[in-house]
Amino acid sequence: MPAAKIHSIQVSNGGVPKAAVASANITFSGVEGDRQRNLKYHGGRGRAVCIYSLEAITSLQKEGHPIAPGTAGENLTIEGLDWASLAPGARLRVGEAVELEITADTKPCATIAASFRDGNSKRIAYKKHPGESRWYARVLREGRVRAGDDVVLLN
C-alpha cells in the first residue's frame, strides 16, 4: 500500500477558507501562521492541529458539495490514510519529526457552511458519518512539515 502523504497545508489569520502554504512549522501551540477566531472551540494544546482526509473531500465533491482543501478549516489535508481507523489516542508521524496524537473529532459549525451545497455542515459530523469527520490533534513533537511529506499511523 502506498504511503499516506500530506496533500496540502492550510493556514489563515482567522476563519475559512484557510490558504495553502508549501510548508509550515508545527509547534505545541499549533501551525505557525494559523490563528483561530474563537478559542473556546478551536485551538489550544489539545486542538493544536486540525486534519482532514483528501478522499473524504473528493467524495463530498462528487455529492455536489463545494468543499475543497482548507474550506472546512483543516490545517493538514492528508491523502492515503485509512481515515476510518483513526480515533482518540491514535498517533501519527508527519514528515521527518512531527508527532501528533488524535484527541477528538472536530465538531462542524456554521462557519464552514459554505462548503456544503445545503449549508448543512453536520454532513461531516462524526456521530452521523463516522470516518468522514475532521480530527483534532495535540502536538507531541514539533517540527517542520511540507506538502508531500509522508504520514505514518504509529498505533
Q: Could you report the per-residue pLDDT of 120-152, keeping only the tens digit for each?
A: 999 999 999 989 999 999 999 999 999 999 999
Q: How far is CA 90 from CA 38, 60, 85, 151, in A?
A: 26, 24, 9, 13
Task: For residue 58, give the C-alpha cell.
Answer: 473528493
Residue-wise pLDDT for 5-40, tens only, equals 999 999 999 889 999 999 999 999 999 999 876 555
pTM greater than 0.85: yes
Q: How far apart are CA 17 and CA 39, in angstroms?
A: 17
Could you give all domains of the chain from N- to C-terminal order, each with its CATH number? 4-153 (2.40.33.20)
Q: How far is CA 2 from CA 7, 78, 80, 150, 152, in A?
A: 14, 13, 7, 10, 11
Q: How far apart are CA 67 and CA 32, in angstroms?
A: 24
Residue-wise pLDDT for 41-59, tens only, equals 556 688 999 999 999 999 9
